[in-house]
Chain A
Amino acid sequence: MSNRILASILCGILFGIGLVVSDMVNPARVIAFLDVGGNWDPSLAFVMGGALIPSSIAYAIKRSRSRPALDTQFHVPTSRSIDTKLVLGAALFGLGWGLVGLCPGPAIASLVTGRWETALFAAAMLAGMFAYRIVQSGQSTQLQLR
């Protein structure tokens, strides 16, 4: 197994521990954080705040590096255009997140609990991702035909 894959497993483990420790995996907690008009629980703001500290440092370090430790180049998105896809996609995601209280990381992490609710949500999430893939490849086929 390559070092790159080992690194991704290690990062996944840290991420999974972080999601459980912060209680980000708990839909009731997430809903309470989003419930700014009700009995607001601000604790999850510390998750985002805490996560941004190491993350910002790493992105600052990246500026002085030509390549990451285990790859020949960085693969960080460079697009800066704010388009309908971005805003509509974020809005649909926000709607689903607000309805249930699970975003993709917690949806995957909570599979380990064996609860049917999280399995159903994760299956539907994968179906949604697959549906996007179908729509996207349909569009690119149309472009090629044109």
Chain B
Amino acid sequence: MSQLSYIWPLSGGLLIGLSAALYLLLDGRVAGISGLVASAFGWTGAGVSPLGIGFMGGIIGGAGVAFAYIRHAELTISSSPLLLIAGGLLVGFGTRLGSGCTSGHGVCGLARLSPRSIVATGTFMAVAALTVFVTRHLIGGVA
């Protein structure tokens, strides 16, 4: 890790945090992407949410602008199609069952010291790290 390599992640993190801060103080809501995506499709039991659709559209638009004008990074994806499907299903089902993901529990939940979010964040970080350890070091070649 070079001396300046923390500038990009730190700047990006500050922007994500600013987004969560504004969403709370303007719209009064948690910027949790799994919940917002589900709400955009009406899968939270409260009908189709225009806020969810707006947030999702904003993410895609913002990412497009950033890829084009700020940091063009080539994504490295090494997973097989089967693994992409399995991973997607687990992430989709798991985040809804556990009421949140990296943003809702990680960024917003930890910021308000929610006990549920602290447990959830600790759990998904630990399981994700364990999964990487198993797939990259124990049974190499799976992912």
Contacts and interface: CB of A to CB of B under 8 A. Distances in A.
Interface footprint category on B: 35 or more
Interface footprint category on A: 35 or more
Given A51-B13, A62-B25, A129-B95, A90 B63 contact: no
B80 to A, nearest CB: 10
A49 B86 CA distance: 30
Contact of A20 (B27, B58, B63): B63
A65 to B, nearest CB: 8
Contacts, number: 502
Nearest to A61: B25
Interface of B: 1, 5-6, 8-31, 33-34, 37-38, 41, 43, 45, 50-52, 54-67, 70-71, 73, 75-79, 81, 83-99, 101-103, 105-108, 110-112, 114-116, 119-121, 123-133, 135-137, 143
Interface of A: 2, 4-29, 31, 34-38, 41-59, 61-62, 65, 67-71, 73-77, 79-82, 85-105, 107-113, 115, 117-118, 120-133, 136-137
